[in-house]
Structure 1
Amino acid sequence: MSNAEPTVDQVTRADRLAPDEVTEVLALARAAGDTDGADPFDEHTLLRLRDPRAAAVHLAARAADGTLSGYAHLDTTDPGGVGVELVVHPAYRRRGTGRALARGVLAAATGPLRAWAHGDHPSAAALAVDLGFNRARVLWQLRRPLTAPLGEPRLPEGVTLRAFRPGADDDAWLALNARAFAEHPEQGRWTAEDLRLRLAEPWFDPEGFLLAVESGSGRLVGFHWTKVHERAGSARIGEVYVLGVDPATHRGGLGRALTTAGLAYLRDRRGLDRVMLYVDESNTAAVALYERLGFARWSGHVNYHLG
Structure 2
Amino acid sequence: MVEPTRAQVAVDARRGPLDAEAADAVRRLAADATAADGIAPISEQPLLWLQDPEARVEHLLAHRGDGNLAGYAQVDVGAVTTAPAELVVHPAARREGVASALLEAAHATAAREPGRTLRVWAHGALPAARAFAASTRMPVVRELWRMRLDLGRHPLSAPRPLPPHVTVRPFVPGEDEEAWRRVNSRAFAHHPEQGRMTSADLRAREAEPWFDPAGFLLAEREGLLLGSVWTKVHAAGELGDRPVGEIYVVGVDPDAQGLGLGGALTDRGLAYLAAAGMQEVILYTGAENEVAIRTYRRVGFERSAVDVMFGSDTPGSPHGATMAP
TM above 0.5: yes
- Among 282, 300, 305, the alignment partner of 1:299 is 305
State how far apart, in whole Å, the 1-side matches of 2:270 and 2:25 are: 35
SS state of the match for residue 50, structure 2? helix
Paired position in structure 2 for 1:250:
257
Q: Does 1:156 align with 2:163?
A: yes
Query: How far is 1:46 from its partner?
Result: 0.8
TM, length-normalised to structure 2? 0.84
Structure 2 counterpart of 1:21, one-letter code: A
Structure 2 counterpart of 1:127, one-letter code: F
Contact 2:150 2:281 in 1 (8 A): yes
Structure 1 counterpart of 2:106, one-letter code: V
Q: Structure 1 stretches of 5 or more lacking a match?
A: 1-5
Q: 1:63 to 1:231 in 2, by over 3 A?
A: farther
Contact 2:210 2:232 in 1 (8 A): yes
**Which stretch shows the higher mean deviation, 197-206 or 61-70?**
61-70
Query: How far is 1:29 from its partner?
Result: 0.7
Query: How far is 1:164 from its partner?
Result: 0.8
Paired position in structure 2 for 1:33:
34
Paired position in structure 2 for 1:114:
119
Q: Does 1:180 align with 2:179?
A: no
Give deviations 1:222-269, integer Å, cap 9, x for gaps: 21000112265743211111001223333343222211211111121x
Query: How far is 1:290 from its partner?
Result: 0.9
Paired position in structure 1 for 2:289:
283
Q: How many residues align?
A: 299
Among the aligned pairs, what percent are the same residue?
46
Query: How far is 1:150 from its partner?
Result: 0.8
Query: How far is 1:144 from its partner?
Result: 1.0
Q: 1:180 to 1:54 in 2, by over 3 A?
A: closer
**Which stretch shows the higher mean deviation, 41-50 or 99-108?**
99-108
Paired position in structure 1 for 2:271:
264
Q: Does 1:103 align with 2:108?
A: no
Structure 2 counterpart of 1:241, one-letter code: Y
SS state of the match for residue 124, structure 1? helix
Contact 1:70 1:98 in 2 (8 A): yes
- Among 274, 278, 287, the alignment partner of 2:280 is 274
Query: How far is 1:281 from its partner?
Result: 0.8
Contact 1:13 1:57 in 2 (8 A): no
Contact 1:146 1:263 in 2 (8 A): no
Paired position in structure 2 for 1:3:
none
Paired position in structure 2 for 1:167:
174
- Among 189, 198, 201, the alignment partner of 1:191 is 198
Structure 2 counterpart of 1:8, one-letter code: A
Structure 2 counterpart of 1:134, one-letter code: P
State how far apart, in whole Å, the 1-side matches of 2:82 and 2:236 are: 32
Contact 1:37 1:119 in 2 (8 A): no
SS state of the match for residue 47, structure 2? helix
Paired position in structure 1 for 2:19:
18
Q: 1:255 to 1:53 in 2, by over 3 A?
A: closer
State how far apart, in whole Å, the 1-side matches of 2:254 and 2:12 are: 44
Query: How far is 1:13 from its partner?
Result: 1.0
